[in-house]
């Protein structure tokens, strides 16, 4: 399957005004735009356990690159703005997770910011990603580096030794920067470490 990285700045163009949530999935579904570069329908109905990440709006391009470079395809995005009202299109987490189950997405990225137009509006961005099982990208880094899944297992063994919470998010390898990224299990913040740092930590805990 050919994976094409679509530049997010284009997708972040004029936002759509949302004043009500008519869909059972709220504005997440109402303003969903499918990624036409892939056959999103082939992922629908898959058994998934979606991961939900709240990320910095200004780093969306970076996170999108990590996802698509780490063996995921972008199924599509939801992007809109709304006024500051309780029913004004706020993307509830449960709606995003429910919609992810419907389209077969494994990871959800959500970001928000105040409108750049100087009014009392909030911009919302929700992106859905799925593991690309048609290539080896999800099981191999394409180098001699360990896969993200192998690193996650090893890191969770250390977390168990230290009696700390386990990593629940995907651990993604970025070949461009030779680094791994994940969501910290204690504070829910994005983490990124070079491969050398990660491997050195793992070696230090070997018995």
Does 124 share its domain with 160? no
Digit-by-digit pLDDT tens for the chain (207 residues) are 333 333 343 333 334 444 444 567 888 888 888 887 776 677 887 788 898 998 999 998 888 888 887 788 899 999 888 765 545 556 778 889 999 999 999 999 999 888 776 677 788 899 999 987 654 333 444 557 888 888 888 888 888 888 888 888 888 888 878 888 888 888 888 888 888 888 888 887 765
Domain around 174: 148-204
Does 166 share its domain with 74? no
- Check residue 27 and give its pLDDT: 81
Does 196 share its domain with 108? no
Does 66 share its domain with 27? yes
Does 81 share its domain with 118? yes
User: Which of 131, 161, 182 represents a domain boundary (last residue)?
Assistant: 131
Does 100 share its domain with 166? no
User: Which of 103, 131, 159 represents a domain boundary (last residue)?
Assistant: 131
Strands 72-83 and 32-34, bridge-based pairing: antiparallel
Does 120 share its domain with 172? no
Does 34 share its domain with 86? yes
Closest listed residue to residue 31, CA positions, set 80, 72, 64, 68: 80
The SS3 call for residue 61 is helix
Does 169 share its domain with 110? no
């Amino acid at each position: 399957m050919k994976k094409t990285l679509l530049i997010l700045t284009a997708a972040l163009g004029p936002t759509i005004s949302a004043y009500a949530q008519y869909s059972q999935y709220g504005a997440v579904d109402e303003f969903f735009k499918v990624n036409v570069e892939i056959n999103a329908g082939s992922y629908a109905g898959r058994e998934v356990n979606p991961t939900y990440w709240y990320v910095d709006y200004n780093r969306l391009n970076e996170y999108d690159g990590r996802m698509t470079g780490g063996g995921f395809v972008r199924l599509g995005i939801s992007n809109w703005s709304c006024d500051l009202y309780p029913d004004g299109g706020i993307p509830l987490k449960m709606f995003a997770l429910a919609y992810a189950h419907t389209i077969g997405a494994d990871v959800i990225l959500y970001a928000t910011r105040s409108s750049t137009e100087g009014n009392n509006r909030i911009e919302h961005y929700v992106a859905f990603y799925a593991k690309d099982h048609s290539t080896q990208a999800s099981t191999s880094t394409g180098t001699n580096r360990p896969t993200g899944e192998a690193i996650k297992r090893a890191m969770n063994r250390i977390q168990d030794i230290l009696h700390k919470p386990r990593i629940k998010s995907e651990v993604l390898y970025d070949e461009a920067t030779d680094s791994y990224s994940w969501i910290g299990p204690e504070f829910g913040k994005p983490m990124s470490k070079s491969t050398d740092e990660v491997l050195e930590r793992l070696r230090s805990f070997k018995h």
